[in-house]
Amino acid sequence: MNFSTISADHNFVLVECKENTTYFRLGRVSEIFGLFRPNDSYYNSSETNNLIPCDVIMTSNDIEKLRARMVQHIAYNMLHPHSRVNMLTTFGPHETLINKNFFSRIRWCDYRSATQNLLCAVFSRETLATHTVAGRQSPKLKLDANKIDDIISIVTNKCNVTREHVLQVITYRCWFEDRKHKQRKSPKGKK
């Protein structure tokens, strides 16, 4: 399930082009042929006047929103070079990116497991160890509030639990990763 928007009513489009290499491009919806036919979209390159095979990632009237999404896709590709970008989906009101395959395997019958799986998919272990939800404990920083809101939103909706339940799991996971991080950093023999 992909929560990204694709609509002919929008003016701009973000596509993943597949020529000799894979790259992302912002353009106008009118430059895309086969916009609503799966696996059959083409971008009309004005430079070469050729049709280039592409996957439509998202459309919007807000070009800045598409630029931000393009940066997210590029960053994800850099961190996960063997992953395909069209294997991503978004969740929550702030549209946090996550691997589609991973997202589809989340067990929503257990809110603790769902929350911890989402945390580990969205944040690195190091980030969870060095950040907190509130960011009150110095020298710790605050976790990305938009990503936390997205995790809370989807878990509360799919698992029918309160915000406080989800926050408890997030707090515990940060504490647990901090403890593990300190154990890995400490010399052997010391506890």
Handedness of CA 177, 178, 179, 185 (dihedral sign): positive
Domain limits of the chain? 12-83, 106-185
82-137 pLDDT per residue, tens? 655 456 788 899 888 887 778 888 889 999 999 999 998 888 888 898 888 886 66
pLDDT at 159 over 90: yes
Q: Which helix or strand (DSSP H or E) is residue 99 part of?
A: strand 96-99
CATH class name, domain 106-185: mainly alpha
* Closest among 67, 25, 64 to 44, alpha carbons compared: 25
**Pairing mode, if any, of strands 131-132 and 141-142?**
parallel
pTM of the model: 0.58
Q: Which residues contact 27 (CB under 8 A, 6 or more apart)?
A: 12, 13, 15, 43
d(CA 44, CA 50): 6
